[in-house]
């Protein structure tokens, strides 16, 4: 997630890695591991890791079995998590009244677990296999009244200027040609998938040439390239097509919609899911391109 400006009055709110380790009675090395996997809320200021005390307290509470089942309020009709053009369209067309707070998969899970949202759209790569979301859901929601539904499978790859003038075909080419790269925030599922693919190709993300500020959505990546501020980025085929850009496919990912079980039966989520069963929804997915929706609505996790 992007680093917010720090104010003097906030000084006591922000914790260092050492302070968080002491609070959780863990080693600093363990905290770094949790950060690398996007499992603990954090931010960065000039390269330094910082932790919001309030978010950490929410996170600690969420780790306790059933801690949030007796919360005194219902979560708002908001879907947090990943930005997705198909979800944007479905929310509008269904007239479901749901708000979107799409600042990345990890941020979405943080807000979801803290009951700041009734659902979260996530695509977080597993650590121990090639799948997505299973490990995160088991780790963070196994003891909570949560169900997850498959939203879609989505094609990810390199988004490049129209015509691919730099002739980029791989992550290695990005480094060799010093391409200006539109980077997503660390908690974004796209960034986590890029990290996985870069390790496979033997490329370090530190070798890329990022341009700022960080892109907070799929559309922001494509727009930065279309307007000439960046030569390349990593994102979905649908965003590349929207702006008439070149696309080099690299992987398919799974998007899941995690929902509080009670919210699942409420009118906003039911209205959204009803639209997903229509021909209009399938036509829109084909129009956007890079989606496979045959499993949309199928239960993928049930705590």
β-bridge mates for residue 302, sequence order: 147
Distances 198 to 21, 108, 209, 285 between C-alpha atoms, Å: 29, 24, 14, 28
Task: Report how far residue 60's alpha carbon sits from residue 203's, in angstroms, rounded to the nearest whole number.
Answer: 34
pLDDT of residue 223: 97
**H or E element that contains 283:** helix 279-288
Residue 9 predicted with pLDDT over 50: no
pTM for this entry = 0.76
pLDDT band at 279; cut points 50, 70, 90: very high
pLDDT in tens, 191-225: 999 999 999 999 999 999 999 889 999 999 999 99
pLDDT tens string 152-194:
999 999 999 999 999 999 999 999 999 999 999 989 999 999 9
CB 112 within 8 A of CB 101: no
The per-residue pLDDT for 28 is 87
Do the first three CATH levels of 8-63 and 156-252 match, i.e. the same topology?
A: no
Q: Report which secondary-structure segment, H or E, holds 54.
A: helix 53-63
The answer to whether domain 156-252 has CATH 3.40.190.10 is: yes
| pLDDT given for residue 73 in this prediction | 66
The arithmetic mean of pLDDT across residues 131-147, rounded, is 93
pLDDT at position 90, please? Answer: 98
Read off the pLDDT of each residue in 251-270 and give the average, rounded to a whole number.
95
| CATH, range 78-153+254-302 | 3.40.190.10
Q: Indicate if the pLDDT at residue 275 is higher than 80.
A: yes
**Is 70 exceeded by the pLDDT of residue 67?**
no
Residue spans of the domains in the chain: they are 8-63, 78-153+254-302, 156-252
Share the mean pLDDT of the chain. Answer: 89
Q: Are 39 and 124 in contact, with CB atoms under 8 Å apart? A: no
In the predicted model, what is the mean pLDDT of residues 260-277? 94
pLDDT at residue 31 in the model: 87
To the question of domain 8-63 being in CATH 3.40.30, the answer is no
Picking from 208, 82, 67, the residue whose alpha carbon sits closest to that of residue 143 is: 67
Phi, psi for residue 7 in degrees, rounded to 5:
-105, 155
Average pLDDT over residues 257-269: 94
Better-predicted residue by pLDDT, 64 or 16: 16
pLDDT score, position 70: 40
| Residues 113, 120: Cα–Cα separation, whole Å | 9
Report the alpha-carbon distance of residue 78 to residue 75 in Å, rounded: 8
**Mean pLDDT along residues 130-150:** 93
pLDDT at residue 10 tops 80: no
């Amino acid at each position: 997630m992007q680093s917010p400006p720090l104010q003097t009055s906030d000084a006591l709110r922000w914790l260092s890695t050492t302070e968080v380790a002491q609070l959780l009675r863990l080693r600093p090395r363990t905290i770094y591991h949790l950060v690398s996997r996007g499992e603990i809320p954090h931010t960065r200021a000039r390269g330094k890791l910082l932790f919001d005390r309030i978010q950490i307290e929410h996170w600690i509470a969420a780790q306790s079995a059933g801690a949030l089942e007796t919360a005194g309020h219902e979560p708002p009709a908001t879907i947090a998590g990943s930005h997705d053009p198909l979800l944007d369209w479905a929310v509008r067309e269904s007239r479901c009244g749901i708000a979107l707070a799409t600042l990345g998969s990890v941020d979405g899970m943080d807000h979801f677990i803290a009951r700041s949202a009734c659902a979260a759209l996530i695509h977080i790569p597993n650590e121990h296999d090639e799948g997505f979301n299973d490990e995160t859901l088991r780790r963070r929601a196994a003891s909570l009244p949560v169900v997850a539904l498959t939203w879609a499978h989505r094609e990810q790859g390199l988004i490049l200027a129209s015509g691919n003038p730099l002739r980029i075909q791989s992550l290695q080419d990005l480094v060799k040609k010093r391409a200006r790269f539109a980077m997503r925030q660390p908690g974004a599922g796209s960034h986590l998938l890029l990290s996985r693919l870069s390790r496979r190709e033997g490329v370090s993300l530190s070798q890329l040439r990022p341009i700022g500020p960080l892109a907070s959505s799929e559309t922001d990546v494509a727009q930065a390239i279309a307007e000439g501020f960046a030569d390349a980025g990593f994102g979905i085929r649908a965003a590349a097509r929207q702006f008439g850009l070149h696309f080099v496919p690299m992987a398919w990912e799974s998007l899941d919609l995690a929902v509080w079980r009670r919210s699942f039966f409420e009118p906003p989520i039911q209205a959204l899911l009803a639209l997903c069963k229509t021909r209009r929804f399938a036509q829109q997915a084909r129009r956007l391109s890079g989606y496979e929706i045959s499993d949309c609505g199928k239960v993928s996790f049930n705590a």
